[in-house]
Amino acid sequence: MTNTPIELGSFWLPKQSSTVAPQVDQAWNAVYWVAVFFFVLVVTGMVVFSWRYRRKKEGEVTSDVDHNTALEVIWTLIPLGITMGLFTLGLRGFINASVAPADAIEIHVTAQKWSWSFTYPNGTTTAELGVPKDKPVKLVMSSTDVLHSLYVPEFRIKQDVIPGTYTTLWFQATEAKEVALLCTEYCGTGHSDMAAKITVMEGPKYLEWLDANGDGADKPPAERGKSLFTTKSCAGCHSVDGTRVVGPSMKGVFGKMEDLADGTQVKVDENYLRESLLNPNGKVVKGYQPLMPSFQGQLKDKDIDAIIAYLKTVN
Amino acid sequence: MSRSITVDEVAAAPDSGGTDYINATKGVWSWLTTVDHKRIGIMYLVSVLTAFALGGFFALLLRLELLTPKHTIMSADTYNQAFTLHGVVMVFLFIIPSIPGALGNFFLPIMIGAKDVAFPRLNLLSLYLYWIGAIFALSSILSSGLDTGWTFYVPYSSTTNTAVVNVTLGAFVLGFSSILTGLNFIVTLHKLRAPGVGWFKMPLFLWGLYATSIVQILATPVLGITLLLLVFERTLHIGIFDPALGGDPVLFQHFFWFYSHPAVYIMILPGMGIISELIAVHAHRKVFGYKAIAFSSVAIALVGFLVWGHHMFVAGQSELASTIFSFLTFLVAIPSGVKVFNWIGTLWGGSISFKAPMLFALSFLFLFTIGGLTGVFLGMLSVDMHLHDTYFVVAHFHYVMMGGTVTAFVGGLHHWWPKMTGRMYSEKLAVLSCALYFIGFNATFFTQFLMGSRGMPRRYYNYLDQFQPLHAFSTFGSWILGAAFLVMLYNLLNSLKNGERAPKNPWGGLSLEWETASPPVTENFVHVPHVEHGPYDYAATVARRAS
Ligand SMILES: [Cu+2]
């Protein structure tokens, strides 16, 4: 997880860093001032009448007026008109935010407890999102476990991410900077840590960055394994420094004798590691819940090789 | 017997014969087997206040944890359980049954001049169902807890290893309690009004309860079915909502909010009813726009069935559906606004005394107006994209549910306490608790609007450092709020022992409950009352007395 702060743009709202944001904020401003107006109206009426008509003695004769049709029609129709205006304004920004331009770069987002991964058109996968400035980006999102929701306060966008369905979201960043991406649908223990950083880059820098984070088939396996360990969210549940997170630490795992929940022991070798990834609940480590998801279909053979190569180096 | 009564006559009338309902019979058993709606109301009152204390305790723990951005007093898992239980207890065990169960049961029959509700035994049954449901739900605390949030969204709720089944079965049973109460009230209002009590001579509190009852009997079954399906999915692995079993998680949200949005009106309509009483009685004035208030309650109840999708603008429903739901949501805002205008209109030309119940009513106007107006922000499609599931929503619904319903409930409790217990509480302490409540509430929750609009998501255990000052402020506010309730509790309990005896009609009200003794006799009235004046004919009453 990252701790990128949310930059403020005004007293109430974060900075506007996408092309969607101005329309959302315009709608916010409209409803804000309508609300302030009616609030002041109601409270003034309450205070003034309370003072003016405070009880001075017992048995005061009070007004018998119990309705005024004209007044009541007015105070029904005027708010009705105003709310219809607000509805339209909200709809405009919503349509704008719902329809992605046809030339948007498509990035696939996978949400899982409790991390994000982003797959770019060239097949690269990263744990933090990199996007070019001033280019529309469309996120095609799905979850592997429970509901999540992708939220970028400075972009004013949000959309739930659902297992078994694709949902989409688009934005066009207007400033080269780092912004926070948060999960806003409750998803359990690590919900509030399920954040990622979006790095908005100038076009050429983005392409460079994409290359640098590329598949890296040319890199040594242990190094690829190391980056897969973060991008495939292993790092969310496993430390490499011996601390216990959701799952056991990977420090010194290779070659040791592991106690299993069923009371047997097993030596951690290549086959055991492979089985741990593809069928994690087959052999469960003693003292842990069977919470590890299967990576069957998500890791290619050479990815598994790379991860194993990396794990051998974690001591 | 036909007569009209003046304020002074009512106040001066000698106590009528018969024993009051509290001393009519003695012993715990006589309470547990009673069919007297007043006793059932009192038992509901004690139960919902206990639930409120429990839910409030969780709330204070949560606020304490949020004092710092990382670990403060509990782990992430404990935090998740604490906010879930806070929500479940407050929604299902406190706020839904609170006003109808306690004040509704006690006053509905009296206000229409009836001896009891239409089905007294059914009434006792609904109290027992409430207790059974509560035991089911709370048993989760002793077993594996519950960490799904009060909304039980799938697939989280179909996969977590906490006590989802206990709690959903509890909520299922509680639903029946709610349905039976609603049914009882509807039949009572249709069938048992005393001679002279026409529909439009009913106090507005009863219109609020009537509208609530309609929602209770129509919407609650849907929740029951939904939760049962969830139980089937968890225990029998029937794929309904969980995509891993071939189900649809968004379907669950539709089912859930089809009940839970109308449930918002189950929570607020009775409170609105109370406010109409408090303002009229303490302003000694005829309600402005009686019919508008009465019909708007029913309108809210009915249109309220068509807006559930506004909880799901970003949940993956179609854009067209979101648009329609947004439109209808704006429509349902209008009747609530109309009510506020009518209450302000009722202050105009009144003779307003500022006793504690009235101070709570004015607090309600202030807080509920904020709650209602911020709802308009959330109804706007584009603005909701930014605000959905942030603290802005948390603040909004606390302004409506607590600032609205709880304020009304507490105001009503002070208003009718003399009638229910026969004792007067200390006015000074009551005013003090109201002031603390008002300050503490705003300190706690107004801050949360600001956090939310700045991007702080809800249900977060850890949060970005930049939010700490606001979170800390909110936590301090929660302590003031806690203190307010302690003062209130002390004041009310103390009055039972040391309070002055309450007169029949301490506030000069004209509705029927002020015609009977404080506390009332078991039969409510010694003679069947025959009513000629409306519950708010203050001007006429004063004039008649003068001549
Ligand atoms: Cu999440």
A72 touches chain B (CB under 8 A): yes
Q: What percent of chain B has pLDDT over 90?
A: 73
pLDDT of residue B95 exceeding 60, the answer is yes
Confidence bin at A111 (pLDDT 50/70/90): very high
Residues of B in contact with A24 (CB under 8 A): 382-383, 385-386
- What is the model's pLDDT at position B144? 80
Note whether residue B42 is domain-resident. Answer: yes
Count of domains for chain B: 1
- What is the model's pLDDT at position A245? 81
**Matching residue, tokens 């906010």:** B83
Nearest chain B residue to A26 by CA distance is B383
Nearest C-alpha of chain B: how many angstroms from A90? 5
Gap from CA of B240 to ligand 1 centroid (Å): 22
Q: What protein residues have CB closer than 5 angstroms to ion ligand 1? A: A 148, 183, 187, 194
Contact A181, A197 (CB under 8 A): yes
Name which of B348, B369, B380 is nearest A49 (Cβ-Cβ): B348
- What is the model's pLDDT at position B269? 94
DSSP annotation of B379: H
Task: For residue B85, give both structure tokens.
Answer: 């239980």
A32 touches chain B (CB under 8 A): yes
Note whether residue B10 is domain-resident. Answer: no
A183 touches chain B (CB under 8 A): yes
pLDDT of residue B547 exceeding 80, the answer is no
pLDDT in tens, B379-437: 999 999 999 999 999 999 999 999 999 999 999 999 999 999 999 999 999 999 999 99
Residue type, B362: L
Note whether residue B424 is domain-resident. Answer: yes
- Read off the CATH number of the domain in which B274 is found: 1.20.210.10
Confidence bin at B16 (pLDDT 50/70/90): very low
pLDDT in tens, B230-260: 888 888 888 889 888 888 999 999 999 998 9
Note whether residue B262 is domain-resident. Answer: yes
Note whether residue B399 is domain-resident. Answer: yes
Terminal Cα-to-Cα distance of chain A (whole angstroms)? 23
* Mutate: best of A47, A56, A114, A186, partner B, most B CBs <10 A: A186
pLDDT of residue B13 exceeding 70, the answer is no
Question: Number of CB pairs < 8 Å for A and B?
Answer: 282
Name which of B291, B362, B389 is nearest A185 (Cβ-Cβ): B389
Gap from CA of B147 to ligand 1 centroid (Å): 14
Name which of B331, B347, B386 is nearest A49 (Cβ-Cβ): B347
Q: Is A302 exposed, middle or buried (0-12, 13-18, 19+ CB in 10 A)?
A: exposed
Nearest C-alpha of chain A: how many angstroms from B76? 6
Residues of B in contact with A79 (CB under 8 A): 333-334, 337
Residue-range definition of the domain harbouring residue B497: 28-546
**Which residues does B536 contact at the CB level (< 8 Å), separation at least 6?**
A66, B280, B285, B286, B287, B290, B510
Q: Which of A142-146, B12-16, B183-187 has the highest mean pLDDT?
A: B183-187
- What is the model's pLDDT at position A216? 60
| Distance, CA of A41 to chain centre | 39
Compare B221 and A299 and report the one with higher pLDDT: B221
Which residues face B31 on adjacent strands? none
Nearest C-alpha of chain A: how many angstroms from B442? 15
User: Alpha-carbon distance A212 to A201, whole Å?
Assistant: 14
Compare B24 and B447 and report the one with higher pLDDT: B447
Compare B108 and A3 and report the one with higher pLDDT: B108
Nearest C-alpha of chain B: how many angstroms from A299? 20
Note whether residue B4 is domain-resident. Answer: no
User: Residue range A87-109: average pLDDT?
Assistant: 93
pLDDT in tens, A182-237: 999 999 999 999 999 999 999 899 988 888 776 665 677 888 888 888 878 888 88
- What is the model's pLDDT at position B18? 66
Note whether residue B195 is domain-resident. Answer: yes
Note whether residue B531 is domain-resident. Answer: yes
pLDDT of residue B1 exceeding 50, the answer is no
A156 touches chain B (CB under 8 A): yes
DSSP codes of every residue in B179-215: HHHHHHHHHHHHH-PPTT--GGGS-HHHHHHHHHHHH
Contact B470, A12 (CB under 8 A): no
pLDDT in tens, A25-49: 999 999 999 999 999 999 999 999 9
Compare B140 and A175 and report the one with higher pLDDT: A175
A34 touches chain B (CB under 8 A): yes
Residues of B in contact with A187 (CB under 8 A): 156
DSSP annotation of B142: H
CB burial of B460-487 (b: ≥16 within 10 Å; e: otherwise) equals: bbbbbebbeebbebbbbbbebbbbbbeb
pLDDT of residue B2 exceeding 60, the answer is no
Residue type, B82: A
Which residues face A132 on adjacent strands? A201
Residue type, B80: N
3-state secondary structure of B148: coil
Nearest C-alpha of chain A: how many angstroms from B316? 6
